[in-house]
Amino acid sequence: MRNKSILVAIAILMMSGCALPRTFGPYSGKVVDAENNAPIKGVAVAVWFSTKSPSMGGTVWKVADAVETLTDAKGEFTIPPHRIKLFKIMASWDDECQVSVFKPGYGAYPGNLKTYCSWKEKHPFFIPEEEHVTYYLPKLLIFDDRRENYVITPGGKTDEKLPTLMKYMDEWAK
């Protein structure tokens, strides 16, 4: 009986730190040229969602899913609510979803120091839910600007969920 009680207690403790299905978003915003505020059409906006787990060396983050969209002629984008069905023991969802905004010929947000956004309450690597954010991307005209332009991606198997971002990165590397 005592062993059964211990097993039940351990099971309850393990279940208390589980990542269960969750809905993120919606996300919306606009991407404009940093110099003249003109909207930029066809910009890839990628958002990825992570879980975090405790470990002996500290917290470990793991990308669970990713989505992308393109800006329209007005530079606007919308990512509808995104539900992720995942059950992971000893993990919780990271509430701050990372974002990457990129189009060849422009600075990549947040990997280029000349890019910025209208939302400054938290770390700029993240995108807030249910808030309209404007991203300002400068044109990259000289080689040194291009060399210092870093596109941030989640990597791994989620890259297949970001085909436009990956295509743009390949174009930019040539």
Please give the residue that has the higher pLDDT: either 12 or 31: 31
Please determine, for residue 14, whether its predicted confidence score (pLDDT) is greater than 70. Answer: no
Domain span at 118 = 2-173
CB burial of residue 127 (10 Å; 0-12, 13-18, 19+): buried
- Are 36 and 42 contacting, i.e. CB atoms less than 8 angstroms apart? no
Report the C-alpha gap between 169 and 162 in whole angstroms.
Answer: 11
Could you tell me the sign of the dihedral formed by the alpha carbons of 117, 121, 122, 127, in that order?
A: negative
pLDDT at residue 142 in the model? 76
In the chain, the number of structural domains is 1
Q: What are phi and psi of 156, to 5 degrees?
A: 75, -155
For 44-92, how does the pLDDT look when each residue is reduced to its tens digit (9 = 90+)?
999 999 888 888 888 888 888 999 999 999 999 999 999 988 777 777 8
Q: Interior CA angle at 157 toward 132 and 159, to 5°? A: 45
CATH number at residue 32: 2.60.40.1120
pLDDT at residue 7 in the model? 65
Residue-wise DSSP of 55-102: ETTEEEEEEEEEEEEE--TTSEEEE--EEE---BTT-EE-SSEEEEEE
Please determine, for residue 13, whether its predicted confidence score (pLDDT) is greater than 70. Answer: no
For 112-146, how does the pLDDT look when each residue is reduced to its tens digit (9 = 90+)?
888 999 986 544 788 889 999 999 999 997 777 77
Residue 112 CB neighbours (<10 A): 22
Report the C-alpha gap between 78 and 66 in whole angstroms.
Answer: 14
